[in-house]
Amino acid sequence: MTSASPVVEIKQLTKRYGDFTALDSLSLSVGAGQILGFIGPNGAGKTTTIRILVGLSKATSGTASISGADCLQESRKIKRLVGYMPDRFGSYDNMRVAEYLDFFGAAYGIGRRERTRRIAEVLEISNATHMKDLFVEALSHGMQQRIGVARTLLHDPQVLILDEPANGLDPQARIDMRILLLKLAEMGKTLIVTSHILPELARVCDLVAIITKGKLRAFGTLDEIMRDIRQKRTFEIQLVNVEQVDRVAALVAAHLSAPPEDVTVAPAETMVRFATSLSDLELAPLLTHLIEQGETVAQYREVTSDLEDAFLSVTKHDDGPATATADTADQDERPAGSEEQAASS
Amino acid sequence: MNPVIQREFFGILRSPKAFAALLALTVAFSLAVLMRWPSDAKVDLSGEQSIGVFRVFGYGLLAGVVFLVPAFPASSIVREKNSGTLALLLNSPLTPVSIYVGKLAGVLLFSLLVLVSSLPAAAACYAMGGVDLVGGIGLLYLVLALLVVQYATLGLFVSSHVQSADAGVRITYGIVLGLCFLTLVPHAFYQGGTGWMAEISQWLRYLSPLPVIMRTMGQGSLASRGLMEGGGGTLEFIFLTIGSWLVFGIATLTRLNYRIYDRSRAQGVMTDDRQLSSRMARRLLFVVDPQRRKAGIPWYLNPVMVKEFRCRRFGRSQWLLRLVAGCALVSMLLTFAAATSVVSWGVETIGGLMVFLQVILVVVLTPSLTAGLISGERDSGGWELLRITPLSPFKIVRGKLLSVVWTLLLVLMATLPGYLVMIYIKPVMWLQVNLVLICLAWTAVYTLAVGAAVGSLFRNTAVATTTSYVTVMSLFLIPFLVWLGRDAPFGHETVETVLLLNPVGAALSVIESPGFTNYDLLPAAWWVAGAVSGFMFLVFGVQVWRLTRAV
């Protein structure tokens, strides 16, 4: 699911360091005002992708563009279009926040008067106005992250790329960061955010890309990914007494014509679980059927999956050695939804 | 065995740089002796040749100790503090004393290796004859051993107070050079005199190892005036050096506990938020008030240059103004002292001293400003941020270099009144003064280029600072070590050639400073300085280009 006009577009991006393939035919696109959660284990290729996007690194093959500007060929244009916050804050000793932002504003060529206004504005957006007279190196990590976001906003970029913005933040700071990211998306900014804190990411992202060993394993909305990676959904039927358990399990298996391994019982919990690929509409008669058979059902619910489940599900099948040579892109290994995403863009 | 000693000592030994330094020193000592080893069958009854070799060896060893020893302890404690391992050590059953002893012993054991690696060369000197075993070689090693402990304790002391490894290296080298050279200056004016100033200047001189070493080498000490030198001083030097160990040691031990982590996050009150009277008072006191809110960077200034001025601890405007004021004061004091001292100084000698002081200032100041220009950014993560701004590599480099150029220019300009006084006293010297000023400008450019190029080759600021200091100081001290050995063991041509290595010799020659009048160094010294500076700027430029391109 991307908007009609993608702002960030990556096609068949490959990056090799000698024999090591850090990125392997990565393709994805992100529309205006969308937040892309870019996740993957350490060394998966997230930072390599980001560095290519901001013009700090050169792709071996493939293209990456932002608002139509090629990330490598038009690096000057890219610098104006992108606000990048690396995972390291990059502080300067002995400088106050206002001086720090003033320097970066001047580096982006923003006029003095306009710069003063922008500094006040970005500090306001990142809720950091009270920090302007503080020394940068003395700020706490959470405060530095906010100033980092303020710095990326100074030249009013169209795209913000934030590498691990929630890393090391306390719960309150993390909530503040989440609110800030949503606020930026509301302002029409396109955001690419990497993080290891998946529940946090799941709350703000419109799109999720899961990358492991340089390959895109899944890309789409969280719902799309969940649907793609989990062919069967899991449901739980909470019963009131233990005698019901086997009886209900048999009824469920018979009603759904399910294979025995898909229906499991947990007598201690007075629970029956089953996995099914049926739609909600097809499943609806099951509850009626159970009640008609005289069974008392305390609860009937779907076991929800979250981004962590999706991530683990994608990465657990990928614990082999790192790709050492360029893989011939096997279509079967293409990430769920990636073809559609690329096509829709 | 104390685990800290084990880790420190073997940690240093495992470092390829330490191994390279040891190897380089051993090769240098051997070559120095081999170069002057007699190649014919003539008997040197006077022992002049062997003493000449011993001088080169002794000064080389002193330079080795001065350059190498402070680097390791200067970053030792602060590096552990910043990486968090010091907290683990303090939280372990190890006592602060055992941690301190462990760190000190690690450095001392390495330094012992440096001294041991020089022993074959020392034995060769002794074998040539003419060198006293106890009063010559023995005393030299005793003084060096005392210095090693002094520099190690000093380095650890500084390291326990600073917030970054490169600051530790900078400050330690600054103090070491101050102890070696600046302590000699007051004595040059008051020697032979009486009164408390003469007494203080005499005791200050005892802090420097140079007079003792020079006497050991059979030479009059630096800036001494023949019979007025007074002699002695070895015992005083030993007494003061051992005293300094204790002071530095105790002061460091008092920091090795919770206090080292006690750092206030208080930011101070901005001057703009103070009362009018307070604002006025601060304006008078600071001229450029560091607590005042800064106006934005104007369009006509290079933002990187302004950033460099603002973010370095030493080099912000208020410090520069203090430095200039200090230079002007020293320049005035120099004139006053020359006019009132018991010694009759010629204008040439005063000129030589001014050149000498300016060069020390430039050599001490410049590597600390230039070494971290690139490595500091890479160390802090700022380089990545600079790369994603629209600033071109050329603009970044220009801004960074300009920030140092302005500082050095201010330092050089601050002593102009002194030279004007010289021209007033002896008008015929105006051409010489001009030539000297050109030499000094070249010295500044040369130091800047070397410091920046060498520093840019390293990712770690502390390593970059150490290497820059060692390179710059080597380039400035080696010609003078050779000059000290003029006539024996080095001939006129050798000395003249080596003096071309930097423009200071030319400046001293132009101003007709004693000992330099026989050398014709201009304009060759300018050409050499230009070529070396050009090459170094090229290295710096290539390194910046390499670091800014997308790969």
pLDDT band at B345 (very low <50, low <70, confident <90, very high): low
The mean per-residue pLDDT over the stretch B386-400 comes to 91
CA distance B184 to B8: 35
CA distance B148 to B112: 9
Checking if the pLDDT of B227 tops 50, the result is no
SS3 of A20, please? strand
Residues of B in contact with A114 (CB under 8 A): none
Please indicate whether residue B299 or residue B364 has the higher confidence score (pLDDT): B299
The mean per-residue pLDDT over the stretch B220-239 comes to 64
Pinpoint the alpha helices (H) of B207-316: 210-216, 234-253, 276-286, 303-311
SS3 of B523, please? coil
B218 φ, ψ (degrees, to nearest 5): 80, 25
Q: Is there a contact between A103 and B297 if contact means CB atoms under 8 Å apart?
A: yes
Closest CA to B469 of B315, B357, B365, B319: B365
Q: Is there a contact between A58 and B551 if contact means CB atoms under 8 Å apart?
A: yes
The shortest C-alpha distance from A89 to chain B (Å) reads 7
Give the whole-number percent of chain B exceeding pLDDT 90: 18
Give the whole-number percent of chain B exceeding pLDDT 70: 86
pLDDT band at B272 (very low <50, low <70, confident <90, very high): confident
pLDDT of residue A343: 35
Checking if the pLDDT of B29 tops 80, the result is no
Q: Hey, what are B85's tokens?
A: 């391992």
Q: Is the sign of the CA dihedral A64, A70, A76, A80 positive or negative?
A: negative
Q: Which residue has the tokens 């206002």?
A: A98
Output the DSSP codes for A245-272: HHHHHHHHHHHHT--GGGEEEEGGGTEE
Checking if the pLDDT of B221 tops 70, the result is no
pLDDT of residue B515: 82
Query: Which region, left, alpha or beta, applies to residue A330 given φ > 0 means left and ψ of -120 to 50 means alpha?
Result: beta
Q: Hey, what are A266's tokens?
A: 């947990």
Please indicate whether residue B176 or residue B129 has the higher confidence score (pLDDT): B176
Tell me, rounded to whole angstroms, the distance of Cα B492 from its chain centroid. Answer: 27
The shortest C-alpha distance from B308 to chain A (Å) reads 9
The answer to whether residue A89 neighbours chain B at the CB level (below 8 Å) is: yes
**pLDDT of B46-85, one tens digit each?**
666 677 777 777 888 888 888 888 888 998 899 888 888 8
Between the alpha carbon of residue A143 and those of residues A129, A226, B155, the distances in Å are 11, 35, 34
**pLDDT of A131-157, one tens digit each?**
988 888 888 888 888 899 899 999 999
State how beta strands A271-276 and A233-239 pair: antiparallel
The mean per-residue pLDDT over the stretch B343-349 comes to 64
Closest CA to B153 of B87, B80, B241: B241
Checking if the pLDDT of B331 tops 90, the result is no
Please indicate whether residue A312 or residue B247 has the higher confidence score (pLDDT): B247
Checking if the pLDDT of B222 tops 60, the result is no
The shortest C-alpha distance from A215 to chain B (Å) reads 20
**Beta-bridge partner residues of A194:** A38, A163
The mean per-residue pLDDT over the stretch B352-371 comes to 82
Query: Which region, left, alpha or beta, applies to residue A337 given φ > 0 means left and ψ of -120 to 50 means alpha?
Result: left
Checking if the pLDDT of B114 tops 90, the result is no
The answer to whether residue A82 neighbours chain B at the CB level (below 8 Å) is: yes
The mean per-residue pLDDT over the stretch B396-425 comes to 82
The mean per-residue pLDDT over the stretch B96-116 comes to 86
The shortest C-alpha distance from A116 to chain B (Å) reads 7
pLDDT of residue B480: 81
The shortest C-alpha distance from B386 to chain A (Å) reads 8
Q: Is there a contact between A94 and B313 if contact means CB atoms under 8 Å apart?
A: yes
pLDDT of residue A35: 93
Between the alpha carbon of residue A227 and those of residues A218, A257, B501, the distances in Å are 11, 22, 74
Q: Is there a contact between A76 and B298 if contact means CB atoms under 8 Å apart?
A: no
Whether the CB-CB separation of A83 and A153 falls below 8 Å is answered with yes
Chain B residues within 8 Å of chain A (Cβ atoms): 164, 265, 267, 270, 293-299, 303-304, 306-307, 310-313, 316, 380-382, 384-391, 550-551
Of A86, A102, A133, the CB nearest to B267: A133
Q: Is there a contact between A56 and B299 if contact means CB atoms under 8 Å apart?
A: no
* Among A residues 22-81, those touching chain B with beta carbons less than 8 Å apart: 54-58, 72, 75-76, 79-80
Most distant CA pair in chain A, distance: 78
| ipTM for this prediction | 0.75
Tell me, rounded to whole angstroms, the distance of Cα A90 from its chain centroid. Answer: 24
State how beta strands A233-239 and A297-302 pair: antiparallel
pLDDT of residue A302: 85
Output the DSSP codes for A128-155: -GGGTTSBGGGS-HHHHHHHHHHHHHTT
Pinpoint the alpha helices (H) of B15-91: 16-36, 48-68, 71-83, 85-90
Tell me, rounded to whole angstroms, the distance of Cα B189 from its chain centroid. Answer: 23
Work out the mean pLDDT of chain B and round it to a whole number: 81
Checking if the pLDDT of B451 tops 80, the result is yes
**Beta-bridge partner residues of A236:** A273, A301
Checking if the pLDDT of B259 tops 60, the result is yes
Most distant CA pair in chain B, distance: 85
H/E stretch holding B7 reads: helix B3-14
Closest CA to B168 of B308, B313, B305: B313
CA distance B468 to B451: 5
Whether the CB-CB separation of A335 and A218 falls below 8 Å is answered with yes
CA distance B345 to B357: 16
Contacts of B321-328 with C-beta under 8 Å, sequence gap 24+, read B321/B287, B321/B288, B323/B410, B323/B411, B323/B414, B324/B410, B324/B411, B324/B413, B324/B414, B325/B414, B327/B361, B327/B411, B327/B414, B327/B415, B328/B414, B328/B415, B328/B417
Low-confidence stretches of chain A (pLDDT beneath 50)? 1-3, 320-345
pLDDT band at B488 (very low <50, low <70, confident <90, very high): low
The shortest C-alpha distance from B444 to chain A (Å) reads 26
The mean per-residue pLDDT over the stretch B249-257 comes to 92
Minimum Cα–Cα distance from B263: chain A residue: A138
The DSSP output letter for B259 is G
**Beta-bridge partner residues of A72:** none
Whether the CB-CB separation of A158 and A190 falls below 8 Å is answered with yes
Which residues have a Cβ under 8 Å from the Cβ of A163 and sit 6 or more positions away?
A46, A47, A50, A84, A85, A86, A87, A194
Of B380, B386, B390, the CB nearest to A80: B390
